[in-house]
Structure 1
Amino acid sequence: MVATGKKLSLDLRVIELHTQTKLAGYIKLLQNNMRKLFFGSKINGVMALYC
């Protein structure tokens, strides 16, 4: 019984870690996309000014 509990908590810890890294990855992706959008619109604005 104790061994099963330990195994379960270990599994949960692994799942939690996996979820955190997944979330971090999503956040990074979002930030990159936001940055691209922001810089893209800024560059487009500058191009519109000069053209």
Structure 2
Amino acid sequence: NMEVIKCADQIIDLGPEGGDLGGKIVASGTPEEVSNNTKSYTGQILRPLFHGKKQ
């Protein structure tokens, strides 16, 4: 639930995929900092919550 994640103090986003393609830290920081990370799938979902809808 992105509304819950949005309120977190810190996020550690692991990935970028699952299995052998995962397990690396893709992004870490506050939800707003993660939303600015273009490599983070979580950041891509959080971005509209902080910066409005994509155009």
TM-score norm. by structure 2 comes to: 0.24
Higher helix share: 1
- Larger RCO (CA within 8 A; separation ≥ 6): 2
Higher strand proportion (structure 1 or 2) = 2
User: TM-score w.r.t. structure 1 length?
Assistant: 0.25
